[in-house]
């Protein structure tokens, strides 16, 4: 009988007992952890404080006091001079508890601490070889794909980080615009691990998420009707827009991007720029009012624009003021992120026909040379080798980037370009619209 009952007894002993239920923590326990942690900080017992705040974080994931504990933990690390650990906690607070009152302070502290970190950039070869990608392509740029691009010779990514209608917004964390999805920060980190740079492609004249009630829109003169009309692009001389751009682009730089690439689309056309702010500032600066109907007229059967002689004085002023406004924004951003590089795109006409570029796009390549720019970029085709050489001569060599279609990759090679000239491969997006010389 004893032998027959042993297996049954053994089976009962081997069966694991159910886990004991742990009662939910009381508010008094959590309050005690917070209070003891604060006392430890006041007494300089930072290790003990860290342990208490960590215990609350890890042991009570649903406690409403977690944002406060995370903030206190970040502040302890900051007191100890452990900037990286403090940044980890501030970023966790801003990401996990964006609506908590403590997150407001975290978003302020993050860029402040980032400026204290040493500027570390991935190694950059003497020549930039890059790829321009849209925001939808960011999700596919995982470590494997980035490694493949790096092996093929790509050392730079230029990424579009905004989207306009019908669902406008941005693809990086900011409080200044609707965030469609935060894709950029992860891409920057992954690219840097591969030794690649990341540039954010951005248009300062087209941001469809801006509320029309702000009245930041630009105005154009319709020569057919003789009236001023509001347009979708923005008035670069509006003082509130400048302040807005400083905030937005500072957040963009805070993602860790190596540079910001200011695209030429959409340009400031000849009939645009006649906002109230621009008209008033021109009269103040130049000592005379400006009448759009005297500058522009519809001529000929096709009713094309005709320019009065005084139009060129207005146009030169508009170009200089718009460049000063935009590049002044970039200098303000660079004050917070000194290592940030800046590239400005111009149209090929800025090289081949400067007068036309000034009229059609408010671009002056010679004027741009006065500013602290790292690169000037323009679109070319494989047949425009002479254009590239002339552009390199104007912008003084190594500051030139050429935007080329990947289809030209076989015929337009780095070895055939002026020394130091970089290449960014960018697919054409639809039929040429801005110019017939490169897009």
CA atoms within 13 A on the CB side of 406: 9
DSSP assignment string, 113-144: HHTTS--------SS-EEEEE-GGGGGG--HH
Q: What is the 3-state secondary structure (H, E, C) of 285-329?
A: HHCCCCCHHHHEEEECCCCEEEECCCHHHHHHHHHHHHHHHHHHH
Tokens of 72: 């206190």
Amino acid 11: pLDDT: 38
Question: What local confidence, expressed as pLDDT, does residue 20 receive?
Answer: 43
Q: What's this model's pTM, rounded to 2 decimal places?
A: 0.70
Which residue would you say has higher pLDDT here, 38 or 428?
38
Query: In angstroms, rounded to a whole number, what is the distance separating the alpha carbons of residues 284 and 323?
Result: 18
- Structural tokens at position 415: 């070895």
Higher pLDDT, 145 or 382: 145
Mean of all residue pLDDT scores within the chain: 83
Q: With the CA atoms of 198, 264, 331 and 95 taken in that order, what torsion angle do they form, in degrees rounded to the nearest 10?
A: -50
Residue 5 has pLDDT above 60, yes or no: no
Please state, for a pLDDT cut of 90, what percent of the chain lies above it: 43
Strand duo 217-222 + 129-133: pairing: unpaired
Q: Name the band, by pLDDT with cuts 50, 70 and 90, for residue 302.
A: very low
CA distance 235 to 245: 12
Mean pLDDT of 403-422: 70
Give 199-235 pLDDT, tens digit per residue. 999 999 999 999 999 999 999 998 888 899 999 999 9
pLDDT band at residue 3, thresholds of 50, 70 and 90? very low
In this predicted model, which residue has the larger pLDDT, 241 or 120? 241
Among the listed ranges 228-242, 305-319, 357-371, which one has the minimum average pLDDT value? 305-319
Q: SS3 for 400-428, per residue?
A: EEEEECHHHCCCCCHHHCCCCCEEEECCC
What average pLDDT does range 343-358 have in this prediction?
A: 93
**Average pLDDT over every residue of 405-431:** 68
Predicted pLDDT at 29: 83
Write the pLDDT tens digit of every residue in 243-270.
999 999 999 999 999 999 999 989 999 8
Domain ranges of the chain: 27-114, 129-425
- Mean pLDDT score, 100-112: 88
The CATH topology of domain 27-114 is 1.25.40
Q: What is the mean pLDDT of residues 291-315?
A: 76
Enter the tokens of residue 293: 């109907």
The arithmetic mean of pLDDT across residues 164-180, rounded, is 93
pLDDT, position 412: 60
**pLDDT tens string 112-127:** 887 776 554 555 556 7
Give pLDDT, residue 152.
85
Q: Which of 30-34, 309-313, 329-333 has the highest mean pLDDT?
A: 329-333
Q: Does domain 129-425 have CATH number 3.40.309.10?
A: no
pLDDT for position 26: 65
What's the pLDDT score for residue 310? 87
Q: Look at residues 423, 397, 426 and name the one whose alpha carbon lies nearest to residue 412.
A: 423
Res. 386 pLDDT band, cuts 50 70 90 = confident
Q: How confident is the model at residue 305, as a pLDDT?
A: 65
Q: Which pLDDT belongs to residue 138?
A: 85
pLDDT band at 350 (very low <50, low <70, confident <90, very high): very high
Burial of 295 from C-beta contacts in 10 A (0-12 / 13-18 / 19+) = buried
């Amino acid at each position: 009988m004893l032998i027959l009952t042993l297996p049954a007894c053994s089976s009962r002993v081997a069966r694991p007992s159910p886990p004991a239920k742990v009662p939910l923590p009381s508010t008094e326990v959590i309050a005690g952890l917070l209070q003891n942690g604060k006392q430890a900080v006041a007494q300089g017992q930072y290790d003990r404080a860290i342990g208490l705040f960590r215990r609350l974080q890890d042991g009570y994931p649903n406690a409403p006091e977690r944002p406060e504990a995370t903030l206190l933990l970040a502040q302890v690390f900051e007191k100890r001079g452990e900037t990286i650990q403090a940044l980890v906690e501030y970023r966790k607070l801003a990401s996990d508890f964006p609506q908590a009152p403590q997150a407001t302070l975290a978003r302020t502290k993050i860029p402040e601490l980032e400026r204290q970190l040493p500027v570390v950039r991935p190694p950059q070869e003497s020549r930039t070889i890059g790829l321009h990608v849209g925001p939808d392509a960011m999700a596919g740029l995982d470590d494997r794909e980035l490694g493949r691009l790096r092996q093929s010779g790509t050392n730079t990514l230029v990424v579009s980080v905004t989207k306009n209608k019908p669902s406008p917004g941005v693809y990086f964390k900011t409080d200044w615009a609707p965030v469609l999805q935060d894709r950029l920060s992860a891409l920057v980190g992954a690219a840097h691990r591969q030794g690649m740079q990341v540039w954010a492609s951005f248009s300062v004249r087209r941001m469809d998420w801006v509320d029309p009630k702000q009245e930041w829109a630009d105005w154009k003169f319709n020569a057919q009707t003789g009236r001023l009309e509001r347009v979708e692009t923005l008035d670069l001389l509006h003082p509130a827009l400048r302040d807005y751009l400083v905030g937005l682009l500072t957040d963009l730089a805070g993602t860790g991007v190596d540079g910001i690439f200011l695209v030429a689309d959409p340009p400031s056309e000849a009939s645009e720029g006649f906002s109230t702010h621009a008209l008033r500032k021109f009269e103040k600066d130049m000592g005379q009012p400006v009448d759009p109907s005297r500058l522009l007229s519809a001529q000929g059967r096709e009713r094309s624009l005709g320019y009065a002689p005084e139009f060129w004085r207005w146009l030169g002023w508009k170009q200089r003021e718009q460049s000063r406004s935009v590049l002044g924004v970039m200098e303000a951003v660079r004050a917070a992120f000194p290592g940030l590089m800046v590239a400005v795109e111009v149209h090929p006409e800025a090289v081949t026909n400067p007068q036309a570029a000034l009229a059609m796009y408010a671009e002056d390549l010679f004027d741009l040379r006065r500013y602290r720019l790292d690169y000037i970029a323009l679109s070319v085709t494989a047949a425009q080798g002479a254009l590239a050489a002339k552009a390199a001569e104007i912008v003084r060599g190594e500051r030139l980037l050429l935007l080329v279609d990947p289809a030209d990759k076989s015929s337009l090679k780095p070895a055939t370009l002026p020394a130091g000239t970089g290449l960014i491969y960018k697919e054409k997006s639809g039929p040429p619209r801005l110019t017939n010389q490169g897009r």
